[in-house]
Amino acid sequence: MKITKTEKRRVYLDNAATTCVSDTAFEAMKPFLRGSFGNPSALYAEAREARAAVERAREEIASLIGAAPHEVYFTSCGTESDNWAIKGSMRAQAKAKGRKGRFVTSTFEHPAVLNSAQALAGEGFDVAYANVTDGGMVDEASFAQALGNGADLASIMLANNEVGTIQPIARLGEIAHGAGARFHCDAVQAFAHIPVNVDDLGVDYLSVSGHKFHAPKGVGFLYVREGTPLEPFMDGGHQEGAMRGGTENVAGIVAMAAAAREACENMASDAAHIAALRDELECRILAEIANTRVNGAAPRVPGTLNVSFMGIDSASLVELLDERGVCAAGGSACSSHEGEPSHVLVAMGLPSERTQSALRFSLSNETTQDDIDYTVGALKACSEQLQPFALLDLSSF
């Protein structure tokens, strides 16, 4: 792995928080930072090159998800895509129907979705939540119940950001549509890691963020099925079909398309490599460190592993691992400074011994066997330091 700026060994296992920009994405964006730096809305050569690159990127991304180019809107991040889809859809439908309808989501969504739901509730919309199982799956009966006699929009994530579980989006979408609701899917942790096709999933809106698959931070996209209600995200110029004014992040958009293409082309081999290392890390932690439990049952995205080190405070373990050169997360990146147990694990109904002691390891195609060996060694040493009885000495049995 590449983040060895110092002589000290570093192992980066927090790819669900963000990834290193790939060589391909970096090379793709360079010409648009300096040479072809024009504003895509202008009329001279540098601008026309920038416009053409943005539209090529739109076509590329559309083809990767089975959409038409005009159904892809570039945004600044996954949070923006989620906010726009949820608030933009609910407000547009409220205007058209002359009443504020119901929004349904699950209790273990990302804060971008949960806080959008809270904002809608504050505006007088009706908001209902589906429960999740202890294995990290949305409870389908609870989802159907939350939809009740009718809703305007439902939003469920494709892969959970903390435990990696993959939700049956096509089935949940059918249930939502059956209740008359439009269906949004937060695919931020899934796109470019597992196949994502908007028709196979049956979604009306889909959110993606570039920095989760080796594009730079500050760029994402929202897919909106043609004819689906949506208010503009912000008022401004004519960019993005006058739905999201603002000069386009040309270099970021081009880099995102290049990273997406590369990830989708290499998906099968990357997934096999990553899942094999993830499974080895999981097996060795369970076998070599006592009182450990895996959170989240299959199916999971290839790179994510969430483990509770019972009896050990997760923040202390993250700090000690960092000192030994291993980057892991003690909850999602967004909540890891808040000192609260993960809302995802709480929503799954796990006891406090598990929610307070959970760490997320997330691998990438740059993770090596050596990284896993080193991490297991570091984990054993850190667990022993924090909880002297956590390591079983099997040789004495």
Looking at residues 24 to 63 of the shown chain, list those that interact with ligand PLP (rule: CB under 6 A): none
Q: Per CB under 6 A, does 155 bind ligand PLP?
A: no
Binding mask 234-273 for ligand PLP (x = CB under 6 A): ----------------------------------------
Q: Per CB under 6 A, does 130 bind ligand PLP?
A: no
**Minimum CB distance to ligand PLP, residue 123 (Å):** 21
Q: Per CB under 6 A, does 164 bind ligand PLP?
A: no
The answer to whether 200 and 170 have CB atoms below 8 angstroms apart is yes
- Catalytic residue check, 185: no
| Total of chain residues touching ligand PLP, rule CB under 6 A | 14
Q: Per CB under 6 A, does 157 bind ligand PLP?
A: yes
* Run of H or E including 100: none
Q: Per CB under 6 A, does 225 bind ligand PLP?
A: no
Q: Per CB under 6 A, does 383 bind ligand PLP?
A: no
The answer to whether 166 and 159 have CB atoms below 8 angstroms apart is yes
Torsion (CA) 155, 158, 164, 165 in degrees, nearest 10 = 90
Q: Name the amino acid, one letter, at 131.
A: N
In angstroms, the CA 19 to CA 1 distance is 11
Q: Closest residue (Cβ) to ligand PLP?
A: 78
Residue pointed to by tokens 């293409």: 261
In angstroms, the CA 40 to CA 237 distance is 12
β-strands 182-186, 153-157: how paired?
parallel
Looking at residues 81 to 100 of the shown chain, list those that interact with ligand PLP (rule: CB under 6 A): 82
Q: Per CB under 6 A, does 220 bind ligand PLP?
A: yes
**Nearest to residue 87, comparing CAs of 76, 103, 70, 73?**
103
Q: Per CB under 6 A, does 188 bind ligand PLP?
A: yes
> E strands of 37-192, at which residues?
72-75, 102-106, 126-130, 153-157, 182-186
Q: Per CB under 6 A, does 14 bind ligand PLP?
A: no
**Minimum CB distance to ligand PLP, residue 259 (Å):** 14
In angstroms, the CA 290 to CA 328 distance is 19
Region binding ligand PLP by CB under 6 A among candidate stretches 34-42, 130-138, 184-192, 262-270: 184-192
Looking at residues 321 to 350 of the shown chain, list those that interact with ligand PLP (rule: CB under 6 A): 333
**Nearest to residue 77, comparing CAs of 218, 240, 248?**
218
Closer by beta carbon to ligand PLP, 54 or else 219: 219
Q: Per CB under 6 A, does 362 bind ligand PLP?
A: no
In angstroms, the CA 10 to CA 4 distance is 6
Binding mask 193-212 for ligand PLP (x = CB under 6 A): ----------------x---
The answer to whether 106 and 130 have CB atoms below 8 angstroms apart is yes
Catalytic residue among 20, 185, 264, 334: 334
Q: Which residues bind ligand PLP (CB under 6 A)?
A: 77-79, 82, 110, 112, 157, 161, 186, 188-189, 209, 220, 333
Q: Would you please indicate which residues are annotated as catalytic (active-site) residues?
A: 334
